[in-house]
Structure 1
């Protein structure tokens, strides 16, 4: 059906019989996901959402990382006061979970950090790594 205008119109007519609908033109955003139409495909981006996550974690100007996980604790761990709060940590992991819709590359590392009532240093280091990885994507316009 994708490129067939007659089939699309037929489907829209059938839906219009059951539901009250308006045709608003081509979509450019849906649930905070920005949609850009390319020649033969669509590009989905959550750059603004990712920037708001970085701002919430007080990490807009952090040093970017090229990988979303950390394998060991840093030798000197200075916890981010914002992320250290367990409630804020859970908010951050929930926000990052929504980001995995367009960033499946962070889905596995996010699964590791969810549902932790009292995050320990390793969890906080991982949350910091996720934010730094987002910062890496932001700097490369890759979110």
Structure 2
């Protein structure tokens, strides 16, 4: 960096300015901002969550206040409006902030609140995506992907310019935050980004056609829903005909609300459907344990033990029957931690 015009000292031409604040745009600026904000919150009796470093909690008796930080977008909430107002005032005294308002839009996610609950959707994001790709007038379809034929790596003619395909798939990945119904389709399309073909592009446009018919689909958080954790786990054994690697998926519910979901391809080939289902249950159990840790940081007590539902009898027996493990020695030991959680009554 060089001296700004008019600040060069003729007697000391090689001197430079000392920065008292990070300059916006430098690589170290976001971390410097986070450390400054974190120190302010810690000085005002907040504690940093162990499960999520962007979450800060302050508990005083029955009064709870939460601060969720994403760079310079911040959500402040709690169960006492006067305390929340004091936190906002302390922010205003320390930092330059915009006028705080009720949450309507956060990181591209539209939020609609009522006395009954909360709606989370990305309707505007979807409409902008359709307009950008000239699909706003596309004919809607009922499903994100067809059941047949299956997408393969070498199916179809390679695209001359793959930039639009990659741009669409990248946009769909962000859309998955509120649309678990497209998670598998996005996961499958993402595996083909290195060499997309015409068939892959048609499949990507089909997802856009599906979104054109469902732009207002959203996640609804009911205020009266019970606070319980339960998850559904499933796997698609050898579903990829190119390398026969399986895909596992799960969705975790807090009461009636889906709060976490994933569709992910395994790294190795599974030798049996029981093995791949067991691996899927283990991945789901890891996510459930993280959510339990997050709930603990939020001072939320779960009234019942979390439950994971699996549709494979062999995998269910494998979680509880140690004798059966003699047939499953090829499964990595780190997947057996789900059995220990069941025996310790944590699942």
2:125 to 49, 54, 65: 49
Q: Which residue of 2 aligns with 1:130?
A: 207
Q: Which residue of 2 aligns with 1:61?
A: 137
Deviation sequence 1:6-53 (CA, Å, 0-9, x none)? 443454466567645454221211222222112232212211110111
Q: Which residue of 2 aligns with 1:117?
A: 194
Q: Which residue of 1 aligns with 2:49?
A: none
SS of residue in 2 equivalent to 1:44:
strand
Count of residue pairs the alignment pairs up: 134
Higher strand share: 2
Pairs within 5 Å for 1:1-143: 1=64, 2-9=78-85, 11-12=87-88, 19-73=95-149, 85-115=161-191, 116-138=193-215, 141-142=216-217
**In 1, Cα distance between the equivalents of 2:147 and 2:132?**
24
**8 Å contact kept, 2:88–2:100:** no
**8 Å contact kept, 1:70–1:125:** no
Larger Rg: 2
**8 Å contact kept, 1:84–1:124:** no
**In 1, Cα distance between the equivalents of 2:173 and 2:110?**
17
**In 1, Cα distance between the equivalents of 2:160 and 2:146?**
17
Q: Which residue of 2 aligns with 1:76?
A: none
Measured after TM superposition, the shift of residue 62 of structure 1 is 1.4
**8 Å contact kept, 1:35–1:45:** yes
Q: Which residue of 1 aligns with 2:27?
A: none
Deviation sequence 1:66-104 (CA, Å, 0-9, x none)? 21112224xxxxx9xxx9841100000011111111112
RMSD of the TM alignment (CA)?
2.7
Measured after TM superposition, the shift of residue 133 of structure 1 is 0.8
Unaligned ranges ≥5, structure 1: 74-78
TM-score, normalised with respect to structure 2: 0.34
TM-score, normalised with respect to structure 1: 0.75
Could you tell which deviates more after superposition, 27-36 or 114-123? 114-123
Change (3 A) 1:84 1:123: farther
Could you tell which deviates more after superposition, 129-138 or 118-127? 118-127
**8 Å contact kept, 1:54–1:131:** yes
**In 1, Cα distance between the equivalents of 2:79 and 2:214?**
32
